Amino acid sequence: MDNHSIASVSEISFRSKGIMEKRKIRVGIIGLQPKRSWAAVAHLPGLRRLSDKFEIVGVANRRYESTLAAARECKIPQAFKSVAELVQSPDIDLVTVTVRVPNHKEVLEQALAAGKAIYCEWPLAVDFAEAERLVEMAKQKGVRTFIGTQVIANPQLALIRKVLSEGKIGRVLSHSLIGYGRINGAEITDEATERYLLDKTTGATMLTISVMHTLVALQYVSGKINSFNSLLATARPQIYSRERQGYVPMTAADEAGMQGFLADGSVFSLHYSGGMPYDDKGFLWEIIGSEGTLRISALSGAVQIENLKITLCRKGETAFSEITVSEQSLTGFGQDFIAGNLHRMYVGVWQDIRTGSHMVPDFSDALELHRTLDRIKATALRKA
């Protein structure tokens, strides 16, 4: 992930890759529920600030009634009767896939068969084998793909990388990361939307989402992971459901740990716990260098959506001082790092499609993340 960067786009010559020059990229969204789904709170506002580059043309959900309601409320022109109809439509250039992870394979296979460019949320698939088949199909079809590891679009992360690359804390010696994973905590409130996150086989857990996004961030600023040991535990095999006022089973890990080495020789240590903290201190990342220390903190360890507070203390100083990004780099979204990061990702998508560049990670990059995820699960020390 360290080779990717999201830059602002001003004047870029069009070299079309299957999409007509000087025309907006027409988007079809799969999995949109007004006001509450990830597509609604992140993709829609992110795309609509790029109305000179993208046009949201259509939507498709599993049920046509849901599709009609989404199209009507979100003012999207076309409500497609099925996923197949959307991906095969000549009116769609880019298919955005935001359905639950267990449904990715079915939807992505249809979009790939139709030869459409695809933006898919991470995780790509429920496991490595499924991801590998999707990557191979994308290569066979020659389809341009994008994976939603949107933490790389946070300009605060770019600032951290800049501080390190400029040697402001000297040679990086170690990274220590402690976080709460938001999900897989002590209780849930809505079983319809949360219970599938408790099942380790769905591909959507604290480990696959929060921890893996954090590993993307770590590798973005300091290079690839060379080697590691890991630990996984389900400390709470039963968690409380407020909805039923009783307990339900959980097989997903709610404790995850890693220790290892990065390509630059620095050491890293990571520990995540499920749920949210009691206060506002749910994430701490300390980067110790030979000439200083960076401390990065946030409300939770879901770094792909959080506002990161960055502080720096250099050798000879006795206190940490906050360093911040420019307002311009926040692209008008301020402290909204949900829609803001998606907006900046789509800027990269637009550039990649128009120029053939590789600003945004693709399905092959996702496969490497799945490979790491497989290694974590296969080699982890587990609670007896």
What pLDDT score was predicted for residue 382?
87
- Give the pLDDT confidence score for residue 120 in this predicted structure: 98
pLDDT for residue 22: 58
Distance CA 222, CA 233 (A): 27
Instruction: Give the per-residue pLDDT at 147.
Output: 98
Q: How far apart are CA 296 and CA 312, in angstroms?
A: 9
- Read off the pLDDT of each residue in 168-181 and give the average, rounded to a whole number: 98
| In CATH, 25-151+340-362 is 3.20.20.70 | no
β-strands 267-273, 381-382 pairing: unpaired
Domain-by-domain residue ranges, the chain?
25-151+340-362, 155-329
**Geometric angle at alpha carbon 142, from 212 and 356, rounded to 5°:** 75
Strand segments (E) across 220-289: 225-233, 238-241, 246-249, 255-262, 267-273, 283-289
pLDDT band at 329 (very low <50, low <70, confident <90, very high): very high
pLDDT computed for residue 10 by the predictor: 29
Burial of 368 (0-12, 13-18, 19+ CB in 10 A): middle
Q: Within 13 Å and on the Cβ side, how many CA atoms surround 36?
A: 5
Q: Which helix (H) or strand (E) holds 145?
A: strand 145-148
CA-CA distance, 5 to 359, in Å (whole number)?
6
Residue 153's pLDDT band (cuts 50, 70, 90): very high
Q: Give the Cα separation of 291 and 315 in Å (integer).
A: 5
Model pLDDT for residues 269-281, shown as the tens digit of each residue: 999 999 999 999 9
What mean pLDDT value characterizes the chain?
94
Check residue 21 and give its pLDDT. Answer: 54
Task: Note the pLDDT of residue 8.
Answer: 36
For 75-120, the pLDDT digits (tens) are 999 999 999 999 999 999 999 999 999 999 999 999 999 999 999 9
> Would you say domain 155-329 falls under CATH 3.30.360.10?
yes
pLDDT at 58 over 60: yes
- Residue 5 has what pLDDT? 53
Rounded to whole angstroms, how far apart are CA atoms 145 and 136? 12
Amino acid occupying residue 368:
E
Max CA distance (Å), the chain: 65
Q: In angstroms, rounded to a whole number, what is the distance separating the alpha carbons of residues 256 and 249?
A: 18
Tell me if 37 sits within 8 A of 70, measured CB to CB.
Answer: no
Over range 262-288, report the average pLDDT: 97
Cα 29 to chain center, whole Å?
17
Query: Who has greater pLDDT, 185 or 2?
Result: 185
| Rounded distance between C-alpha atoms, residue 325 and residue 153, angstroms | 13
